[in-house]
């Protein structure tokens, strides 16, 4: 089983230094769920950055890159937490190769039916 992350609320803006330049960045929040063992590992690798959502009691993951409304998280061999962005990368690749209109058509044709 893998860690799952679900977007929490809206993103927020944060002022920070990027390469010595004062910059405003967008930060996305995700609630993390998984097995007891996975959550213990997540807490370990997050260290001082480990945060718990006060309302849900779930651990939070923060990123400056939108990872969809729901995503799978992986802990790398270097103990970094990263999102599986393969679906978003597929869409970006389609737009690059065939243009936005063709990508939209393909996506609309491949949505699960509501029946």
Residue boundaries of the structural domains of the chain: 3-84, 85-115
Rounded CA separation 27/13 (Å) = 6
pTM to 2 decimals? 0.76
**Residue 53 · residue 8 · CB < 8 Å:** yes
Alpha helices in the chain (DSSP H): 36-46, 86-98, 100-109
Which residues of the chain fall short of a pLDDT of 50?
A: none
Instruction: Give residue-wise pLDDT tens across range 71-91.
Output: 999 999 999 999 988 877 888
pLDDT at position 73 is 96
pLDDT at position 110 is 76
pLDDT at position 61 is 97
């Amino acid at each position: 089983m893998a860690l799952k992350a679900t977007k929490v609320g809206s993103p927020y803006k944060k002022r920070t230094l990027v390469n010595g330049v004062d910059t405003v960045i967008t930060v996305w929040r995700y609630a993390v769920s998984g097995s007891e063992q996975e959550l213990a590992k997540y807490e370990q690798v997050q260290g001082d950055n480990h945060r718990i959502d006060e309302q849900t009691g779930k651990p939070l993951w923060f990123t400056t890159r939108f990872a969809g409304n729901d995503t799978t998280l992986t802990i790398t061999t270097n103990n970094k937490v990263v999102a599986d962005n393969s679906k978003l990368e597929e869409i970006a690749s389609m737009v690059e190769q065939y243009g936005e209109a063709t990508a939209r058509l393909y996506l609309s044709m491949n949505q699960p039916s509501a029946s």
